Amino acid sequence: MKALFIGGVKSGKSRHAESYTLKMHHNPVVYLATSEPIDKEMRERILKHKEQRSERFLNLEEPLNLVAAIELVKAPILIECMTVWMNNMLYHGFSKEDIFTQLQRLLALDKDMVFVQNDVGGGIIPDNALAREFVDISGVVSQMLGSECDEVYHCIAGIATKIK
């Protein structure tokens, strides 16, 4: 079973994805965090999130190679978040083709996975090439996830609506 929770920033997607993953009735459940502690604020945010989920999830951290991080994991996996992972890949010099290839490998794994993805394409077309590239790649990643996931939920204002 694969599920996607997609929505804007602070839309409730993470909270809904966590609840959904925990209801899979497997113990333990793995939380794969993709954020990198690049500055003080991000380190504090990561620590706060770890503390919030410490009793409910086994925590893994991997900013780039998601497949290697979970290949041997047997439990359901919540991946938070695909948008941050995509940003990490671009920041570290990987191409969009690298991103799409790794995502295909990830989606091919026979595992229960829940993905969180920011919907960044709902606004205006950005005014610079880098931001346009990011939005375009994110859109393709969202389409790949939506196509391969068994269930897709759109989150807005704290409400998750099943769209697939």
Q: Quick check: 55 pLDDT over 80?
A: no
Q: Quick check: 52 pLDDT over 80?
A: no
Query: pLDDT per residue over 119-141, tens digit each?
Result: 998 778 888 988 899 999 999 99
42 confidence band (pLDDT: 50, 70, 90): confident
Average pLDDT over residues 24-42: 85
- Backbone φ and ψ of 11, nearest 5°: -85, -10
Query: pLDDT per residue over 95-120, tens digit each?
Result: 999 999 999 999 999 999 999 999 99
pLDDT computed for residue 121 by the predictor: 81
pLDDT computed for residue 137 by the predictor: 96
Nearest to 37 by CA among 84, 106, 72: 84
3-state secondary structure of 70: helix
Average pLDDT over residues 21-37: 86
Q: Quick check: 54 pLDDT over 70?
A: no
What does the longest C-alpha to C-alpha distance in the chain come to?
46
Average pLDDT over residues 79-89: 95
The contacts of residue 125 (CB under 8 Å, 6+ apart) are 132, 135
- Rounded (to 5) percent helix, strand, coil in the chain: 45, 20, 35
Q: Where are the domains of the chain?
A: 2-162
Active site residues: 49
Which CATH code of 3.40.50.2300, 3.30.70.1400, 3.20.20.70, 3.40.50.300 fits the domain covering 2-162?
3.40.50.300
3-state secondary structure of 53: helix
